[in-house]
Structures are given as C-alpha cells and as structure tokens.
Amino acid sequence: MRPGNRSRTSDWVAALRALYSEAPPDLALFDDAVAERLLPPGLGALVRGAARAPFGARLAHRLIGSATRGLSYGVPLRTAAIDQAVVRAVDSGIRQLVVLGAGLDARAWRMPALSPVTVFELDHPDTQGFKRDGIGELRPLAKEVRFCSIDFERQTLPEVLAQHDFDPQAPSVWVWEGVTMYLTAEAIEATLDAVAELSAASSCLCMTYLPREYASPWLRTVGEVGAMWIGEALRFQEDPHEIAARLEQRCFEVEQDDSAVEWAERWPEREARRVRPFERLTVARRVAG
C-alpha cells in the first residue's frame, strides 16, 4: 500500500475514469469530471495531455488496452454497469447508498440520480483525507455524503455506520467495487455477514470479483506477480455459483452476474471485441429481512 493507505490501483482506476469522461462519444460511458481532481499531479497531467491532444483519448484507450491485455477496458465498463444497477435501486425507492472501500469513487458528485440519496462512504481515514482535499468545496449531487472513517482491523461496519445514523431498517444499495480480489476469504465472509445484518428486505448488493479462470494461466501469473510487486496481492477468486451460494446463505438472491463482455455492448462492435472477461459483477437483492 502507498503512504496514507491509498493504493496505486485506486489512482489508476480514477485516471481511467477521468480519461473515459473525455473520450469520443462512442467510448464515453459517463461524465466523471471529479476524477481528475483526485489524481496525483503527475498522473493528472498525463490524463489532461491525452484528453487535449487530437485523437489523444482514443489513442490512450488503445495503447493502455493493449499494454494491459484488455484489462483497462473493463474498468469504465464496470463502473457504468454498477451505475446502472444503482439507478435501478434508487428508482425502486432506495434512499441509502453505502460504498465499501470507497477510495476515489465520485458517484456522489457525478450522478444526478442520487439527489434523494444519502451516501455513506467507508474507507481508511488517510484515504478519505486525501479525497476530501481533492474535492474541496465541490457540492455533491447526492442529498448528503457522510464520510465514515473506519480502521477495518479495529472497527466493524455496524458500529461505524451506527455512528453516522445509518438506518438498518430501511433498504440500502451497497457498492463493493474492485475490492474483493485483494481480501482473504475470511474478510469476505465477515463483510458479507455485516452487510446482511444491516440490510433490510429489498436491499441491493453490487459486488465485483475475480473468477478462478479469469485469464489464461500465463496471464494470471503475470497479473499476480504484478499485483504483489505493487503491494496489492490478489487473494480471492471464486466462480459465479460459489458467489451465489455465499449470498444465498445470507438471504440475497442473485439477479445479475456478468462480465465486461456483456458490459461492452455499450461500445461499437469494433471496440467491444477487444474486451476480455476478467472481472465479474454480481447484483443481488435481499429477499428476507
């Protein structure tokens, strides 16, 4: 992890979101003008340079995609797929959004659909401090944002959310994006137990994960060595039926489980065929209180 407990992965995810916000219309998936404000100076300069150069965003899209064997294509597609699930949850009447391991997520500042929603962002206090400095006085589009600082080694989700007036009797939508692959199975179990404890009937969980065969053997080896090199080792992979079983044990029913191949339908065919199905998203609904 980087100083202040902010990960390199979080920085690069924010950079990709900023880049795709400036992409040509056929590639643009959302408008995340906030992402650039949250980048370290050097990375921010690279994104601005790519966005302002003629064909720069499209060229960066292809170059980064080739260098990562298509992994980078999944990041904006994943974010857009979760956005869609969140909007559906809000349209159904849900008024609480909890972002687990929020990092540099900027949904509360870029999604007009969250205007009636209170957003609870859980993360390490150092990461939240960096993020709040970057956001400055920018007003959220959400009804309210509550920064819930948590030390996961010493505090639990229920106790921290209770301190910020979270209502466990009201349905919520939970976003757990790009985090589970770095956790142990024990940490996954504990978090799912806490989410289940705090989820009223009709609550929604949006959770991304790596399946066991997320890439060819040699590419998995490269990815795992690279992740260890930056201090963010890949610890957790499970297949869809195993994830569904974990959720069903906690009275969540899977409504959607797909990958970047399906999400890429948002892009033209010539771009969609370059996408690889690394990470998956499961969207599950709490069917019992």
Give domain limits for the chain: 69-286
CA 286 to CA 85: how far, in whole Å?
14
* pTM over cut 0.85: yes
CA 272 to CA 27: how far, in whole Å?
10
CA 62 to CA 80: how far, in whole Å?
19
Say which amino acid occupies 105. D
Q: Which of 167, 199, 178, 188 is nearest to 284 (CA)?
A: 199
Say which amino acid occupies 169. Q
Residues 6+ apart with CB under 8 A from 188: 180, 236, 246
Axis-axis angle for helices 56-67, 41-52 (nearest 10)? 120
- List Cα–Cα distances, 256 to 48, 95, 281, in angstroms: 35, 21, 8
Buried b (16+ CB within 10 A) or exposed e, 136-159: eeeebbbeebbbbbbebeeeebee
CATH 3.40.50.970, domain 69-286, yes or no: no
pLDDT tens over the chain, length 289 residues = 343 455 667 888 888 888 888 888 888 888 887 888 888 777 778 888 877 777 888 888 888 888 888 888 889 999 999 999 999 999 999 999 999 999 889 999 999 999 999 999 999 898 899 899 999 889 999 999 999 999 877 889 999 999 999 999 999 999 999 989 888 899 999 999 999 999 999 999 999 999 987 656 546 555 655 555 555 667 778 999 999 999 999 999 999 999 999 999 989 898 898 888 889 999 999 997 5
